[in-house]
Structure 1
């Protein structure tokens, strides 16, 4: 079985990574970049609209 992941990118330092929806807070919660510690709503870290939809559906 293939595990679904959400692709993330920091809007400040442009670090890219991916995590499963279960590892992430909901889309309106604050999230902190593990690289530069920028703080924004989780939705702002999703790379694409598809990633945001996945987060909202499975998170």
Structure 2
């Protein structure tokens, strides 16, 4: 079975990557970019509304 992932995009350094929703903090919690260490709410790193909804449902 394929693992569900969400697509992330750092609003500061524009790093793109994918992660499992279960391994990320909830959407309102703080998250740190692994590239530039920018700190924002996890929701702000989601590339699309679909990714955000997936995070909220499976995170």
TM-score, with structure 1 as normaliser: 0.97
Instruction: Note the residue ranges of structure 1 that are not aligned, 5 or more in a row.
Output: none
Aligned-residue CA RMSD in angstroms? 0.4
Q: Which runs of 4 or more aligned residues in structure 1 lie more than 4 Å from their structure 2 counterparts after TM superposition?
A: none
Cα distance between partner residues in 2 of 1:31 and 1:3 = 21
Instruction: Note the residue ranges of structure 2 that are not aligned, 5 or more in a row.
Output: none
For 1:10-29, list aligned pairs within 5 A.
Answer: 10-29=10-29
**Cα shift at 1:20:** 0.4
2:32 matches 1:32: yes
